[in-house]
Structure formats: C-alpha cells, structure tokens
A and B are shown apart, each in its own frame.
Chain A
Amino acid sequence: MKKNWPLWEVFVRSKNGLEHRHFGSLHAPDADMALKNARDVYTRRSEGVSIWVVESKNIKASNPDENGEMFEPAADKAYRHPTFYELPDDIEHM
C-alpha cells in the first residue's frame, strides 16, 4: 500500500513582536522535513524569523454549519465594548 507524504500547515512569524500567521501548507514525510521545507518554500525572501508546522489532520476546526450557535450569541453583548457606556463629553483620561 502506498502512503503519500502528509499535508502540513505552516505558520510564520514575520518578525519578533508579531504573532505567527498561517502562510500556507505543504507536503512532508515528517515534522523535521516539514520545517525545512517550510523554510525553503515560504521564507525565500526573508519573510520570517520563526516557523511552526503542524500536520493538517491534527487541526480541529469549527464547523461553519454551526456558525450560528458558535458566533452569533456574541453579537448582542454590546456591554463588552467601551462605546456602550455613556460619559460626559468633557471627561478626560478615560
């Protein structure tokens, strides 16, 4: 039985101080090779200072069909945002 190289997701930190961001994916036989391939594929133009790789199958993703229950309940909680609260115009440092 033939086994193909699995798919990996690549996350790159562009410079210190920034978060790792999803850059794309690639194929590799193992984590070490995935890291090396990621360096060669995604940082050819000095795009990064740190790389994470994770095998795609290990990512648990939310289901868009459940987006209603997942994300909509947050929409009407206006009191979580500073603009919800009324203050006099001339107040400072707040």
Chain B
Amino acid sequence: MENMKEKEQMKSLEDIFEAKIARDEKIEPKDWMPEKYRKTHIRQISQHAHSEIVGMLPEGNWITRAPSLRRKVALLAKVQDEAGHGLYLYSACETLGISREELYHQLHSGKAKYSSIFNYPTLTWADIGAIGWLVDGAAIINQVPLCSTSFGPYARAMVRVCKEESFHQRQGYEIMMTLCNGTQEQKDMAQDALNRWWWPSLMMLGPTDDESTHTEQSMKWKLKRKTNDELRQQFIDQTVPQADILGLKVPDEDLKYNNETGHYDFGEIDWEEFWQVVKGHGMCNKERISARKNAWDKGEWVRDAAIAYADKQTEKEVKEAV
C-alpha cells in the first residue's frame, strides 16, 4: 500500500518535471529531478568536457611547429579555449553532485567516452586547418542547439562556449584557404588532410538514427533538437560548397547534389571503423588517455603542495587571531 503511494507520488513529480521542460522552463541543480535525468546529464556533459580536453592534444601536437608566429598564437589561443571549455563543462557537471576528480578518474580508467575523432593523428600542418574547419564545424552544429537545453548550467556553459568558439572554425578555414592559394605542395597537403578528416567528421555526428539508443529521451530533455542523420545532412550541405570554394575535392565518389530534395546525397560511412575506434582501437586512443593521465598524475605533488601551503596559511591566521 505504502509502496503504491510512493510510486504515485514519484509519478506525479515526474509529470510536473516533464511539463516544466515542455514549457521551456530550465532545470536548476537543486531542483528535484528524476535520477535518470541526473545520470544522463552527468554522462553527456562529462563526455563533452572530456572531448574538449582530449581534443587539445592532437592540435597541441602542432603548437611548437606552427609555421608562423601569427599561426602559433592563434593555435595556442584556440587550444587554450578548449581547456576553458572543458573547465566550464566540468563545472556544469559538478553541480549535479560529482567531483571533477571523479570525472577524471572515469576518463583515465577508460570508463568514460569522448569524441572518437581525437583518436586520429595530426600528421601535417594542414590537419590543423582541417580540424578547425571540419571538426569545429561539426562541433558547432552539435553545440548550438544545446544553448537552449533544459539543464540551466549546461545551457549557460554552452552559450559561453559557442560565443568563444566562433573564431575556431574561421581559424581553420583560413589555414586551408592559405594552403589552397599556395604552391602545389601546399594544395596537396590540404587535399590529403581533407581526405583523411572528411569521413571521421561525418562519423562525429553520431551513429545513424536506427542505431542511436538515446535519441527519443534526449529530444524530450532538449539534449538534442535534431537527429544524428539530420545533423549530418546539415553538415554536409553546408561544408561541400566550402570545399568547392577551396578548390578541394570531397573524397566521396557518391556525393551528388539532389535537385529534388535540395540536399547532397552521399556515400556509405564505414561504421565498422567508427565502432572500432570507439572501442579503443584507433591509432591514438592509448596515447591520448596516457597523455591526460600523465599530466594529472605528474601534477599531483603540485596540487598537494598548494593545498598544504593554503592549510599552513589558514593555521597562521588562526594563531595570529588568538
């Protein structure tokens, strides 16, 4: 009898909660929320945060080798922004009652996922252009709708992220543009980068709708506004003309504008590759995680020192007060 009553109460709380979201009201950290909402948000926000900080590594790989001072400072500022974005997102996640340390632990132990695209290597300077143009391009498509997601701290973090990220894609496209206006060697470098980053960028928008498990629930909670396939189509439609301007060829023999639909038709994505990389078999999975773990482990004595110093100062203040 009691149990029934509890269940009913829970049901009505959930109804009120869902109605609130449907009315476009935000959920704030201390508000009542279903456990599933909390867990889903911790998972998605932390994955997003992990992607930002793992994403620093492939680009960071080229900071010391950037070909001009102007490019060097722009790249540094971009990679630094990603650290900032990771920080905003971890903070948003922490409001749900999990610590950053715990989230790091999930990343380092391989329990948490991050965007698979960062497991591909950056081989030439053109890769830095291609990442800015394609990867940030795909990321923006994913992120802009999140500015109005239902969880307040996530939405606010995303507003800041999107505002700051607007220069990232331009930075990448400008690099590609310069290469494509350069020597044959530079054009080849740009084409090679597009060839290697095109398909992983398409995969970045997630598995096809029939393979995607969370879509319906995510739509309701405004973690998603469009399906993966819709986002992918949007990305392709806006990116192909940009490649045309560069004079580069998108590496897809089946790519063709469809007059009837007003969209580009495109070829088959190699989902086997996608799932293998997700499972940890990409070229750089191990390296990326060990770089993150290494930074954290090597920083432990530094963090401890700062805490010990702070404790000593507090003690001194207390003594002086007595």
Direct contact of A and B (CB under 8 A): yes
Tell me which residues across on chain B come within 8 A of A75, comparing CB atoms.
none
Within B70-112, the residues touching A (CB, 8 Å) are 77, 80-81, 84, 87-88, 91, 94, 99-101
CA distance A4 to B101 in the complex (A): 8
CA distance A3 to B101 in the complex (A): 11
Check if B31 sits within 8 Å of A29, measured CB to CB.
Answer: no
CA distance A2 to B313 in the complex (A): 18
Check if A29 sits within 8 Å of B310, measured CB to CB.
Answer: yes
Tell me which residues across on chain A come within 8 A of B101, comparing CB atoms.
4
Answer whether A5 and B87 are a contact pair too, CB < 8 Å, given A27-B100, A64-B31, A64-B32.
no
User: Does A61 lie at the interface of the complex (its beta carbon under 8 Å from any beta carbon of B)?
Assistant: yes
Check if A33 sits within 8 Å of B306, measured CB to CB.
Answer: yes
CA distance A64 to B152 in the complex (A): 14
Answer whether A29 and B309 are a contact pair too, CB < 8 Å, given A24-B160, A64-B31.
yes
As a 0/1 sequence over residues 148 to 183 of chain B, the CB contacts with chain A under 8 angstroms (1 = contact) are 000000001100100010000000000000000000
User: Does A65 lie at the interface of the complex (its beta carbon under 8 Å from any beta carbon of B)?
Assistant: yes
Tell me which residues across on chain B come within 8 A of A83, comparing CB atoms.
none
Q: Closest residue to B102 on the A side, CB-wise?
A: A4
Check if B91 sits within 8 Å of A5, measured CB to CB.
Answer: no
Check if B99 sits within 8 Å of A61, measured CB to CB.
Answer: no
Q: Closest residue to B303 on the A side, CB-wise?
A: A5
Check if B84 sits within 8 Å of A44, measured CB to CB.
Answer: yes
Check if A64 sits within 8 Å of B306, measured CB to CB.
Answer: no
CA distance A30 to B156 in the complex (A): 26
B159 to chain A, nearest CB (A): 11
Tell me which residues across on chain A come within 8 A of B77, comparing CB atoms.
44
B307 to chain A, nearest CB (A): 5
User: Does A14 lie at the interface of the complex (its beta carbon under 8 Å from any beta carbon of B)?
Assistant: no
CA distance A41 to B157 in the complex (A): 13
As a 0/1 sequence over residues 31 to 61 of chain A, the CB contacts with chain B under 8 angstroms (1 = contact) are 0010000000100110000000000000001
User: Does B5 lie at the interface of the complex (its beta carbon under 8 Å from any beta carbon of A)?
Assistant: no
B40 to chain A, nearest CB (A): 20
Check if B30 sits within 8 Å of A29, measured CB to CB.
Answer: no
Tell me which residues across on chain B come within 8 A of A44, comparing CB atoms.
77, 80-81, 84
Answer whether A26 and B91 are a contact pair too, CB < 8 Å, given A4-B101, A45-B164.
yes
As a 0/1 sequence over residues 52 to 78 of chain A, the CB contacts with chain B under 8 angstroms (1 = contact) are 000000000101110000000000000
Check if B28 sits within 8 Å of A26, measured CB to CB.
Answer: no
As a 0/1 sequence over residues 98 to 133 of chain B, the CB contacts with chain A under 8 angstroms (1 = contact) are 011100000000000000000000000000000000
Across chains A and B, which 8 residue pairs bring their CB atoms closest together, nearest first?
A29-B306, A30-B310, A25-B91, A29-B310, A64-B31, A64-B30, A3-B307, A29-B307
Question: Can you list 16 pairs linking A and B with CB atoms under 8 Å apart?
Answer: A3-B304, A4-B303, A4-B307, A5-B303, A5-B306, A7-B91, A7-B94, A26-B87, A29-B303, A30-B306, A30-B310, A41-B87, A44-B77, A64-B28, A64-B30, A64-B31
